């Protein structure tokens, strides 16, 4: 079966649990929804359902081994990972759940999930006591915080005779989650997104500068998530140690003036602006062309204000663009976000408190999404999950402005 240009591919991962037989129903349900479906199985899964069954249902080859590639074939776990628009693992055993939570990749399924840039849906199924164990719940929480979609197991009589949570969720619920991820995977197709990220460095001399502790992780995660969802992404980045995000066009700058110039250039074609950069508010009024010797360092440095890039872009917006600002604050971040929302003509401001252990340089954060109507507090999430939540709301704002 060959995918048509508009058809999305769902990769169904099947692991070794009694619920594996329901994966056959899931495959049929997804095909009725119009998806091209491919299947990858663990060795244990083949003890419950044969690969021939899935090949017959999907009319596609079924992948079962890391070692089945022929000379000249593409590397299987990479090609499968790239081909998938959505990956779903159903059933997902406690063992595979733990592997994914800890980044272990020792078979075709786990290597494929680790390699994919597609959204991943997990439908756990196991004995009730295994499901309730603290370590299992920690694994689930870790995966959910990283952006995996968890379709929680149902409750009832289990194959082993126990009663409680652990049975594979209903096929309709799993298929619905996959459909939602498939829509999300293309919800920014054709949308041009400008993201600013990272700090700016304002030179005092060739050695010293005024800057801040921004790592750029949030902005890079936003740029990558937007690209995954089909957007044409330009990332204007201050100095960071991060690699270029998958699928984004990157313009690297150093100073606020350089970031302003690059942002204004990209602004002309942008539908969405997400200004996550921590732009320095001030710069030295004069820069020394040579290193200032220690005994010649001045007691004070004259400063001048940098341009307010977000305010400038917000003022230039005719209302057709979506503008998102960030407020990294101490004290009352929501109040400051409300002020920035109005003063800089934003549609949404992402606020966070940097006075504690979260914020600059960390992999997780706690944020508020502040709009004219509400301030929505999110739990502590990985910055990739925050990017996902933010772009859900940005997508809705784009549709609203376009009347679609």
Per-residue pLDDT reduced to its tens digit, 28-50? 999 999 999 999 999 999 999 99
Q: Which of 184, 213, 242 is the last residue of a domain?
A: 184
Residue 360's SS3 state is coil
pTM > 0.75: yes or no: yes
| Structural domain contains residue 207 | yes
| Structural domain contains residue 316 | yes
The predicted pLDDT at position 69 comes to: 57
| Structural domain contains residue 1 | no
The reply to whether 134 and 218 lie within a common domain is no
The reply to whether 72 and 152 lie within a common domain is yes
The reply to whether 318 and 216 lie within a common domain is yes
Is the Cβ–Cβ distance between 107 and 13 less than 8 Å?
no
Residue 250's SS3 state is strand
| Structural domain contains residue 20 | yes
Burial per residue of 70-84, b for 16 or more beta-carbon CB atoms within 10 angstroms, e otherwise? eeeeeebbeebbebb
- How many whole angstroms separate alpha carbon 138 and alpha carbon 119? 20
Q: Which of 184, 206, 234 is the last residue of a domain?
A: 184
The predicted pLDDT at position 78 comes to: 81
Closest of 98, 115, 92 to residue 42, by C-alpha: 92
Angle 63-66-70 from CA coordinates, rounded to 5°: 80
The reply to whether 176 and 199 lie within a common domain is no
User: Which phi and psi angles does 68 have, rounded to 5°?
Assistant: -95, -5
Closest of 98, 92, 122, 112 to residue 17, by C-alpha: 92
The residue behind tokens 């998530």 is 225
The predicted pLDDT at position 70 comes to: 52
The reply to whether 164 and 232 lie within a common domain is no
The reply to whether 219 and 73 lie within a common domain is no
Q: Which residues of the chain have pLDDT under 70?
A: 1-5, 68-77
- Token code pair at residue 374: 């509400």
Residue 330's SS3 state is coil
- Token code pair at residue 286: 């004069």
Residue 151's SS3 state is coil
Element (H, E) at 138: helix 134-145
The predicted pLDDT at position 9 comes to: 96
Domain that includes residue 265, residue range: 192-402
- How many whole angstroms separate alpha carbon 102 and alpha carbon 162? 28
- How many whole angstroms separate alpha carbon 212 and alpha carbon 43? 50
- In the chain, the percentage of residues whose pLDDT exceeds 70 is 95
The predicted pLDDT at position 266 comes to: 95
Q: Please report how many Cα atoms fall inside a 13 Å half-sphere around the Cα of residue 148, on the Cβ side.
A: 25
Sign of CA dihedral 208, 212, 217, 221: negative
| Structural domain contains residue 2 | no
Q: Which residues are catalytic?
A: 160
| Structural domain contains residue 4 | no
CB neighbours of residue 324 within 10 Å: 24
Strand partners, 323: 273
User: Which phi and psi angles does 237 have, rounded to 5°?
Assistant: -120, 135
């Amino acid at each position: 079966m060959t995918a048509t240009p508009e058809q999305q591919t769902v990769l169904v991962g099947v692991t070794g649990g009694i619920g594996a037989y329901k994966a056959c129903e899931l495959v049929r349900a997804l095909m009725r929804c119009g998806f091209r479906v491919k299947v990858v199985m663990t060795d244990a899964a083949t003890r419950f359902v044969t690969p021939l069954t899935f090949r017959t249902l999907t009319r596609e080859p079924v992948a079962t081994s890391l070692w089945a590639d022929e000379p000249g074939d593409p590397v299987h776990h990479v090609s499968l990972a790239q081909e998938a628009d959505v990956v779903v693992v159903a059933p997902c055993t406690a063992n595979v759940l733990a592997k994914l939570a800890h980044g272990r990749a020792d078979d075709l399924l786990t290597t494929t999930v680790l390699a994919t840039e597609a959204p991943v849906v997990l439908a756990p199924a196991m004995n009730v006591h295994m499901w309730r164990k603290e370590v299992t719940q920690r694994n689930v929480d870790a995966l959910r915080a990283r952006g995996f979609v968890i379709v929680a197991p149902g409750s009832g009589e289990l194959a082993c005779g126990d009663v409680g949570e652990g049975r594979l969720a209903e096929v309709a619920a799993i298929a619905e989650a996959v459909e939602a991820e498939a829509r999300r995977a293309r919800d920014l197709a054709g949308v041009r997104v400008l993201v600013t990220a990272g700090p700016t460095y304002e030179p005092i001399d060739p050695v010293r500068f005024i800057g801040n502790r921004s790592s750029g992780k949030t902005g890079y995660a936003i740029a990558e998530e937007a690209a995954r969802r089909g957007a044409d992404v330009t990332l204007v980045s201050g100095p960071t140690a991060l690699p270029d995000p998958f699928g984004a066009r990157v313009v690297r700058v150093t100073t606020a003036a350089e970031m302003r110039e690059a942002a204004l250039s990209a602004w002309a074609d942008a539908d969405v602006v997400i200004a996550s950069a921590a732009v320095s508010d001030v710069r030295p009024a004069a820069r020394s062309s040579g290193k200032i010797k220690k005994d010649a360092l001045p007691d004070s440095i004259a400063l001048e204000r940098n341009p307010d890039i977000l305010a400038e872009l917000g003022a230039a917006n005719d209302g057709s663009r979506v503008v998102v600002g960030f407020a990294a604050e101490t004290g009352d971040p929501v109040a400051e976000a409300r002020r920035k929302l109005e003063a800089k003509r934003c549609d949404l401001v992402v606020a966070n408190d940097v006075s504690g252990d979260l914020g600059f340089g960390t992999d997780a954060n706690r944020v508020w999404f502040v709009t004219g109507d509400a301030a929505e507090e999110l739990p502590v999430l990985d910055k990739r999950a925050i990017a996902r939540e933010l772009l859900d709301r940005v997508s809705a704002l784009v549709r609203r402005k376009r009347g679609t």
